[in-house]
Amino acid sequence: MASTEVNLPFFSPLDCSHHSDWTDYTLLMPVCAVGNIGQLTCDLIISTLLSRQECQLVGRIYSPSVMPVVGPNAFARDGENALPTTSTEVYESVKHKLVIMQQRSSYYKNTKQVYVRELTDWI
């Protein structure tokens, strides 16, 4: 019987030819918790920078430890054909030297250590 398991990289860039060096960048990432303040803050920063054309979606994080989410693009303007929103996305602002990770869902309780290891390895 063939396996249906898919082995995706933790970070999947949207454009494989675009290689960013984020050595001097600051990483902003929310902590998924009650109240969602971190997530709302990242949404506000991303929305503001996108409206000024000062950041772009550069990739997505995939981990079997994170609960999957998919839906309409959170930042699309009327009539804009945009990619769907997923559970964890990565935005880059070259102008402000920021990497913004927006995580919209939590990890599964029993996989916390795996997710933290994957995330720290990526960072």
- Residue ranges of domains in the chain, CATH in brackets: 23-122 (3.40.50.10900)
Picking from 58, 65, 62, 63, the residue whose alpha carbon sits closest to that of residue 98 is: 58
pTM: 0.89
Q: What's the average model confidence in pLDDT over 54-62?
A: 94
pLDDT at 79 over 80: no
pLDDT tens profile 18-41: 777 899 999 999 988 777 899 999
Which pLDDT score is estimated for 8? 75
